[in-house]
Amino acid sequence: MKKRVVLLAVLMLCLLTISACAGEKEVLKVGTEATFPPFESQDEDGNYIGFDMDVIAFIAEDNGWEYEIVNIAFDTLIDKLEKGDLDIVIAAMTIDDERVQRVDFSNPYYDASQIIIVREEEAREFGLDDIAAMDLKIAVQMGTTGAEEAQGILGDDKIHNLYEFKRANEVFTELLSGRVDLAIIDQPVAQKYIAEMGGMKIHGAPFTEEKFGIAVQKGNKDMVDKINASLEKLVSSGEYQALYEKWFDE
Ligand code: ARG
């Protein structure tokens, strides 16, 4: 009799643990900064949309991963990934030397470039080399490659002409307000904001060569391999091309 009670208790305990574990499928935390259309932004209902959002959805589906989007300032993404507060970062993030020291990147999935935007009525002629001498003020998003380019362009002498913003949309409102003379940002994003907000235009040609990658914690080879395998499938299935046309061909 006693034996049966013990057995029953053990059985119940087992069932409890199993159901607890089954219900607790890991939800990956995917970090981004969602004021960066057409890569990542939010629709009126707060849903995350954009090229990157479709790419990560494909990768997650392909691997049977559940995930949630964590929308935070761009300049905090790498820190949070290093600390383990995030599992993946997809944020139109350029693979650069400094970041490669701290996190691991997937294979590149998009070729990008920085470009200058000015107000529509801007009539002055200037190239990259004239910006510092003309005392022009530049708006950029904090922690981006655009910010780094701007620092190089201004040099130490004119660094006070650098205006950095946490969110990309603030860069454009600042330019429209007239407090700065130009903004530097990734080309497709510039085009999207110009189309949506008006009052601005592209100035000159794209002037950097960058590649976007998906970042994971340093040493997480398993996850990089899985992401790369899914990226290959994305391309070979024709889905990459479809997404490209969906988000970039206007
Ligand atoms: N490509 C640039 C960089 O890697 C800008 C990325 C900004 N991304 C964003 N989601 N706000 O620095």
CATH of the domain at 93: 3.40.190.10
- How many domains, the chain? 2
Q: Are residues 140 and 171 in the same domain?
A: yes
- At residue 198, what is the residue type? G
Measured at the CA of 215, the angle between CA 220 and CA 88, to 5 degrees, comes to: 80
Q: What percent of the chain has pLDDT over 90?
A: 89
Q: Are residues 106 and 31 in the same domain?
A: yes
User: For the chain, what is the radius of gyration of the CA atoms?
Assistant: 23
Q: Residue 204 is encoded by which pair of tokens? A: 């000159």
* Residue ranges for the chain with pLDDT beneath 50: none
Q: 141, 172, 214: which to mutate for ligand 1, most atoms within 8 A of CB? A: 141
Report whether residue 52 contacts ligand 1, using a CB cutoff of 6 Å.
Answer: no
Q: How far is Cα 185 from Cα 245, in angstroms, rounded to an integer?
A: 21
pLDDT at 18: 54
Q: What is the pLDDT of residue 25?
A: 74
Domain match, 103 and 217 both: yes
pLDDT digits (tens, 9 = 90+) for 90-100: 999 999 999 99
Residue 86 Cβ contacting ligand 1 at under 6 Å: no
Task: Give the per-residue pLDDT at 17.
Answer: 57
Whether pTM exceeds 0.85 = yes
- Domain containing 177: what range? 114-203
What was the pLDDT predicted at 9? 65
Residues 6+ apart with CB under 8 A from 7: none
Beta-strand runs (E) in the chain: 27-32, 41-42, 48-49, 66-71, 88-89, 103-105, 110-112, 114-119, 138-141, 162-165, 182-186, 200-203, 210-212, 215-217
